[in-house]
Amino acid sequence: MKKHLCSLLLVVSILISGCQESDIAGYETEVQTRVNNPIFKGKLVYHNYTSYEAMDAKLWLYDFSTGPLEEISRTWNIRHPMNAHFSPDGRTIVFMGIGDTDSWDIFSYDLYGKEEPINLTAQSTLREEDPKFSPDGKKIVFKRDLRLAEMNLSTRSITMLTDGDKEYSMPYYNYNGTEVICSEGGKEMSSIVAVNVKTKEIRIICNEPGVQDYYPINADKESFFYSRGYSSSNRVDQVYRGFWNGRPGISLPFNESNADYSDAYPVDDEWLVISSTRAGSKGGYDLYLANVSTGSIQSLSDYHSGINSSKNELGAAVYMKKANEPVSNINLTHNGKCYYASVDLEENQEFEIPQVVNPATAYNRDFMEYNPATGNFVFKGESGTWEIFYYPKYNYIWVAKWSAVDPEAYWIIGSGFSSAPKWYNSFNSLGWDLKDERQVAYMKRIGNNKYQASIYLSNQTEWGFDIKMYGKRSWSAKYAIFANSRLKGDTKGMKVAGKDKADIVMDKGFKPGYFLVTVDLSSGLKKAVVDFKRIK
């Protein structure tokens, strides 16, 4: 790709066996895989367009783990979005596009939020392009007209890194953010230079006479990848490995003199994602995986048939889970009803469960956090042995210490409720069962005499919901006693019932939903105070 150079990011994730149906509108569910595909952990982001002049670019996100392909720019009021790049945690992208200002601006977008992209350069009338995050995620570097600029994301203050009339473009930070590598000049006069962020000194790294050197992407402390022309008489692009110390670059083994190979982005030590016009491509440029050692190459259509199209697919990039980040693989066994395991977990332990179809919606909010950048869970309960139950039908994980008793935990028992954040018709027939994990809720201890659980309260059963709080999973256990005056928070349509006032039940005006329920037993079981907070 000579006319416009893009550098999007990828976030990559381990392929999980089985298929899933996404709940998110705009996702395609077709997944196409081959047994010899390299297995990655994360997501791919790229753009495609008919041509640069057509101004019809779209941004796409592909999840290697679960298979969906989404056009993430489909609802934005931004024209020609392209050249996206991921933050170090993989949560946010920055990209260039034309918004309300009718000029090229830099935008940021939270991939896991609900808001529209934020225009970071809306106050500028200059042309801004090619943004890249710093290694610590606190800054971005980008092209502003002919020069390079750096923005502090917390203050939005901008520092110019270059001046004068020379053109500097396609910037990318080195491994520790002390230098920015970029292309200097244009076409066959271009070279690769490094700009010292602090001193603004510029040093030439590679300058092959008569060919274009451009699109540098850092690989490691010693090297980077870049595109350059085959020769002064043959202008097709080739991918090279360059070196920060300035020694001559090396042509990679997959290059061929009869097609363009460009826009490389490293996936790991062996694999790159590249754009190429090689034989067999569906459009002008298709996305490929290329091996830097063996030269083997395969289309990313092998992962999903929708990735490549009759348009030009460009600007791919990769976010990888770091190898030094510990993660446990917890395998569950199907017991005839659900997937189950009794496992030892440490507080703040990161882990994955291969049997889970869609981790982003399956996790238990009381005991887990979901890391969208890695697709893994982080355990937030106390260290110990825990029972884990996973139902693919509901795509939810129940967590409990099945033998726990007061004061370690309390239990919500009753009918018309579930720990799952969504109500299913099959829950209507459940109720008042001590042995079914779907129909009890483990209330974890959050302080002295205080316990908490997240539950869905329904109005679908005949009498609505009816819950009690017991000190253990036994009908003979002691239970909390309430009064209407001690029901706090979002309690519209709730009341206390029963001769002993132990039941909390549905009343007129109740709206079903997911609630964070906290019970305070500081004044004793007979004066229990409970707070309901509706979770949006």
27-56: pLDDT as tens digits: 333 333 444 577 776 788 999 999 999 999
Instruction: Note the pLDDT of residue 145.
Output: 95
DSSP per residue, 6-65: -----EE-PPPSS-----STTEE------TTSPP--EEEEEEEES-GGGT--EEEEEETT
Nearest-CA neighbor of 311 among 336, 352, 275, 344? 275
Instruction: Note the pLDDT of residue 38.
Output: 76
Instruction: Note the pLDDT of residue 164.
Output: 87
Instruction: Note the pLDDT of residue 248.
Output: 93
* β-pair partners for 133: 140
Listed in sequence order, the DSSP H helices in 301-442 are: 359-362
Cα gap 320→9, rounded to integer Å? 10
Instruction: Note the pLDDT of residue 187.
Output: 73
Cα gap 156→171, rounded to integer Å? 18
Alpha carbon 278 to its chain centroid, in Å, reads: 31
Instruction: Note the pLDDT of residue 113.
Output: 66
Alpha carbon 93 to its chain centroid, in Å, reads: 10
117-132 burial code (b ≥16 CB/10 A, e <16): bebbbeebeeebbbbb
Reading across the β-sheet that carries 128-133, which strands appear in turn?
Answer: 128-133, 139-144, 147-152, 158-160
| Residue positions counted in the chain | 536
Other beta carbons within 10 angstroms of residue 475's beta carbon come to 9
Question: Residue 505 in contact with residue 497, Cβ under 8 Å?
Answer: yes
Element spanning 186, H or E: none
Cα gap 246→237, rounded to integer Å? 21
Instruction: Note the pLDDT of residue 338.
Output: 93
Nearest-CA neighbor of 32 among 5, 3, 69, 1? 69
Cα gap 472→411, rounded to integer Å? 6
Predicted model pTM: 0.61
- Residues of the chain short of pLDDT 70, as ranges, are 1-36, 41, 65-67, 112-114, 321-327
Instruction: Note the pLDDT of residue 29.
Output: 32
Half-sphere exposure of 51 (CA within 13 A, CB side): 2
Nearest-CA neighbor of 353 among 420, 335, 345? 345
Instruction: Note the pLDDT of residue 20.
Output: 31
Other beta carbons within 10 angstroms of residue 308's beta carbon come to 22
Which amino acid does the sequence have at 473?
Answer: R
The Cα diameter of the chain in Å comes to: 93
Other beta carbons within 10 angstroms of residue 102's beta carbon come to 9
Instruction: Note the pLDDT of residue 17.
Output: 30
